Amino acid sequence: MTTDYKPNELLICLASRLMQDNTTAFIGTGIPMLAASLAQKVHAPNLITIFEFGGTGAILEKLPLAVGDMRTYNRALHAGGICDIMESAQRGFVEYGFLGGAQIDCYGNLNSTVIGNQEKPKVRLPGSGGGNDVGSLCWRTIMIMPHDTKRFVENVDFITTPGFLTGPGSREEAGLPDNTGPYRVVTSLGVMDFEEKSKRMRLISVNPGVTVDDVIKNTGFELLVADNVTENDPPSAKELRILREEVDKDKLYI
């Protein structure tokens, strides 16, 4: 068992393990890029990466700095543009979307726009970019973020990216495709899914050294807890070696 790892390295490995071979995944800047590269090198060689500015199916031999980096087109299946990518998602061709945010609520609604009142905010954030499209149109959305009560809140200050909105049936009422929406939330404390009937966030596994109570105390809303909460495996020696020596050898993120 490997114990010498950084918190970000665990997050990257947990996200990477969710990326299945022979699937399509919309990849954002930062941890999703590292997770996708790690997945391609460890267990998902046929993962088709999709980047907002048009790269589809790139082989991430060297880590891109952003979603418009030329390396997002490296040995790609297709070099298109942002409109091509969003249309592909709208047509149902993108299975997974990876997102982050400043706030999230129990239904998986994400805020990356503003903290506080929109007219006189405490903080202005980057905004949606492709975040709304990803959360609206990809089949399964996976959120990756730190876990504390400032981020996991009862009500987000602004819905940048729709989760299950106000609960069962509300996505469909808003005109979003059936059977799409939040799938997993990967955090510094554990992994959550969304209970099928209520559409509320539910704890399914904790990170090494973390208890269920730790997660509950750091969540600003009533968190459902699965009957059998498991413990996530720490990064393996192989994952860490590839992550450090091949994926992020220039230490851009870890």
Active site residues: 52
244 secondary structure, DSSP code: I
CB 103, CB 115: distance < 8 Å? yes
d(CA 149, CA 143): 16
Please name which of 176, 211, 174, 168 lies closest in space to residue 190, comparing C-alpha atoms: 211
